């Protein structure tokens, strides 16, 4: 596939995402490789009622290589890195296929990850351990994070002081 066809596919996927129900903000209006998407917690999940800014970076060889996905505001989840917000998601990281589109990531893959965490393949060991040892305390901790970090209005533009973003090293 030529570079221009790859760019067309990337632009088409980003456009489909922008035309869907998702709020999308391009980091650089001249490029479709870096952008943020507002994700609402799935209905009937511990994350229901929360809103997250999810940063997406598309590699040069997209769609043959998977996008990089990371939560910008804090989320308590075994498969999300506590410090960087990076997502550990098999479909995205290992079994990605050019048949998938960006809309699939937000309609299916991320909601499934939030509904069904996988503590046996963690990026956040503390969350995985708590989920396996005490599901009720895990539920309380998730709800606390949703209330504290994902219940306020999420600004999708470029904001200077994002105090609840990425560096979560002070939270256990």
The residues annotated with a catalytic role in the active site are: 88
Angle at which helices 135-149 and 125-133 cross, to 10°: 130
Record the tokens describing residue 133, joined without a space: 């040892």
Across-strand partners of 52? 39
- Token pair listed for 3: 């570079």
SS3 69: strand
DSSP-derived secondary structure letter, 87: B
Scanning the chain, the segments in alpha helix (DSSP H) are 3-19, 90-93, 102-104, 110-115, 125-133, 135-149
């Amino acid at each position: 596939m030529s570079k221009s066809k790859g760019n067309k596919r990337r632009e088409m996927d980003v456009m489909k995402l922008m035309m869907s129900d998702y709020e999308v903000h391009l980091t650089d209006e001249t490029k479709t490789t870096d952008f943020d998407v507002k994700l609402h917690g799935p209905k009937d999940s511990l994350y229901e009622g929360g809103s997250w800014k999810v940063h997406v970076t598309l590699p040069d060889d997209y769609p043959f290589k998977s996008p990089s996905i990371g939560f910008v505001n804090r989320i308590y989840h075994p498969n999300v890195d506590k410090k960087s917000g990076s997502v550990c998601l098999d479909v995205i990281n290992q079994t990605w296929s050019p048949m998938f589109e960006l809309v699939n990531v937000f309609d299916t893959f991320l909601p499934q990850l939030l509904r069904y965490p996988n503590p046996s393949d963690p990026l956040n060991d503390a969350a995985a351990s708590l989920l396996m040892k005490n599901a009720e305390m895990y539920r309380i901790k998730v709800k606390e994070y949703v209330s504290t970090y994902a219940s306020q209005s999420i600004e999708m533009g470029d904001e200077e002081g994002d105090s609840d973003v990425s560096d979560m090293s002070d939270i256990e």
